[in-house]
Amino acid sequence: MQTLRLSNISTDIRRAASLLRAGEVVAIPTETVYGLAANALDEVAVAKIFAAKGRPADNPLIVHVLSPEDATPLIRPGVVDKLTALSAFIPGPLTVILPKDNKVPSIVSGGLDTIAIRIPAHSVARALLHETGIPLAAPSANRSGSPSPTCMRHVLDDMDGRIAAVLDGGECAVGVESTVLSLCGEVPELLRPGAVTLEQLREVLGEVHVAQAVLSPLREGQAVTSPGMKYKHYAPKTRVVLLRGGSEAFAAWCNTRDCMALCFAEDAQYLRVPCFCYGSSGDYDSQARLLFDGLRTLDESGFAPLIAAHAPDVIGVGLAVYNRLLRAAGFELVEL
Ligand code: AMP
Ligand code: MG
């Protein structure tokens, strides 16, 4: 299959919409990362997403809609109020898990009786939802297990020839996937940290639990609330080690090894190995935005067989960056 590059946003939204309506898969920009979109109500179209990504069938997809009103037919009657209560973050980089309506095909939810709903803020994603008039299932547009794509080039690196088209919306502003919050239990539970932070959610909702898998590996046989937690994730081909400590200690560790560094701006003066700087140590927004580009760029460079990643603090958006790096490193963490 030839993958169309759709770079003229003013005319190509309609082209992308007609491909989606015809049951094809199109990669689309969102404010978090690029998504691999298909009609969420068309099982055959959704199956193409799983095939293109090589995604395990029990890892459910996020369904994108324009408004809580458009989410209503997809969720159990009466639960839409839970969504509107989060209006401070909607539209935006927040995914909410709610009990699902039977009309949503079970392939979308990986066989669960819940559904992940997101209302994106990105103007291109919104224009496309408006033009298609259908809910769009869209996981991140990477091959399963790889770092998520934050620009069209990343999408093509993974998906060229596997999907009908990619719609170019430039670079993603956030850079890490949406915050995933389950509202199915008594207390809201954070399943995946993102740009809508735990601190922000607690301000609005009061108590919010953090799923154990956010910061630690699953124990053998442990039940998971979010199937995506089970898989190695966000990982380049090169081995990644995560290091926590000050700039000089980080550089000293790197300089005695055959490695490349994913580093903070403050580290660069001490480093004598190839590096990709993903922001200053306190700038979690920059770290989130550049994280996956950094992992992909270092991976492609092939300069060394190891990526040493300098870990951010686990506050604000830093928690999301730390969570992705932990998984990219297969939980290999060194305290300096
Ligand atoms: P992705 O779309 O690639 O960013 O991945 C979506 C994430 O949301 C994965 O970690 C899924 O496991 C999670 N997810 C999607 N639907 C559900 C659901 N119904 N319950 C729990 N987690 C979900
Ligand atoms: Mg993903």
- Return the half-sphere exposure (C-beta side, CA atoms, 13 A cut-off) of residue 121: 17
Closest CA to 178 of 263, 271, 97: 97
CB of 59 within 6 A of ligand 1: the answer is yes
Distance CA 224, CA 51 (A): 23
Residue at 187: amino acid letter: V
* Ligand with smallest separation from the Cα of 108: 1
pLDDT of residue 217: 83
The three-class DSSP label of residue 174 is: coil
pLDDT of residue 221: 67
* Ligand with smallest separation from the Cα of 139: 1
CB of 107 within 6 A of ligand 1: the answer is no
Question: How far away, in angstroms, is 90 Cα from ligand 2 center?
Answer: 21
- Which of 226, 232, 233 is the pocket-test mutation for ligand 1 (most atoms within 8 Å of CB)? 226
Question: How far away, in angstroms, is 266 Cα from ligand 1 center?
Answer: 35
**What is the spatial order of strands in the sheet that 94-99 belongs to?**
4-6, 165-167, 26-28, 35-39, 136-137, 62-64, 114-118, 94-99, 179-182, 189-192, 209-210
Asked if CATH classification 3.20.20.140 holds for the domain at 4-214, the reply, yes or no, is no
Question: How far away, in angstroms, is 170 Cα from ligand 1 center?
Answer: 25
Question: How far away, in angstroms, is 59 Cα from ligand 1 center?
Answer: 7
Closest CA to 50 of 143, 128, 151: 143
Question: How far away, in angstroms, is 242 Cα from ligand 2 center?
Answer: 20
- Return the half-sphere exposure (C-beta side, CA atoms, 13 A cut-off) of residue 124: 29
Residue at 230: amino acid letter: K
* Ligand with smallest separation from the Cα of 106: 1
248 touches 270 (CB < 8 A): yes
Helices marked H in 102-260 — which ranges?
123-132, 152-159, 198-205, 247-255
pLDDT of residue 227: 67
Atom of ligand 1 nearest to the CA of 100: 19
- Listed as own residue / partner, the contacts of 276-281 with beta carbons closer than 8 Å and 24 or more positions apart are 281/247, 281/310, 281/312, 281/313
Beta bridge partners of 165: 4, 26
* Ligand with smallest separation from the Cα of 180: 1
Q: Could you tell me the residue ranges of all domains in the chain?
A: 4-214, 239-335
Question: How far away, in angstroms, is 289 Cα from ligand 2 center?
Answer: 15
Question: How far away, in angstroms, is 265 Cα from ligand 1 center?
Answer: 33
User: 239-335: what fold?
Assistant: Rossmann fold (3.40.50)
Number of other CB atoms surrounding residue 221 within 10 Å: 5
Distance CA 236, CA 303 (A): 14
Question: How far away, in angstroms, is 108 Cα from ligand 1 center?
Answer: 10
Element (H, E) at 26: strand 26-28
Distance CA 179, CA 156 (A): 25
DSSP string, 297-313: HHHHH-S-SEEEEEPPP
Distance CA 22, CA 47 (A): 14
Please give the torsion angle defined by the CA atoms of residues 57, 297, 317 and 283, in that order, rounded to the nearest 10 degrees.
180
3-state helix, strand, coil in the chain (%, to 5): 35, 20, 45
Distance CA 36, CA 49 (A): 7
Distance CA 4, CA 83 (A): 35
Atom of ligand 1 nearest to the CA of 61: 15
Distance CA 327, CA 34 (A): 20
Question: How far away, in angstroms, is 145 Cα from ligand 2 center?
Answer: 7
- Which of 191, 214, 324 is the pocket-test mutation for ligand 1 (most atoms within 8 Å of CB)? 191
Question: Strands 26-28 and 35-39: what pairing?
Answer: antiparallel
Atom of ligand 1 nearest to the CA of 148: 3
- Which of 34, 62, 155 is the pocket-test mutation for ligand 1 (most atoms within 8 Å of CB)? 62
Closest CA to 96 of 74, 127, 111, 77: 74
Q: Write out the chain's pLDDT in tens, 336 residues.
A: 999 999 998 899 999 999 999 999 999 999 999 999 999 999 999 999 999 999 999 999 999 999 999 999 999 999 999 999 999 999 999 999 999 999 999 999 999 999 999 999 999 999 999 999 999 999 999 999 899 999 999 999 999 999 999 999 999 999 999 999 999 999 999 999 999 999 999 999 999 999 999 998 877 667 667 766 665 677 889 999 999 999 999 999 999 999 999 999 999 999 999 999 999 999 999 999 999 999 999 999 999 999 999 999 999 999 999 999 999 999 999 999
Atom of ligand 1 nearest to the CA of 184: 20
CB of 330 within 6 A of ligand 1: the answer is no
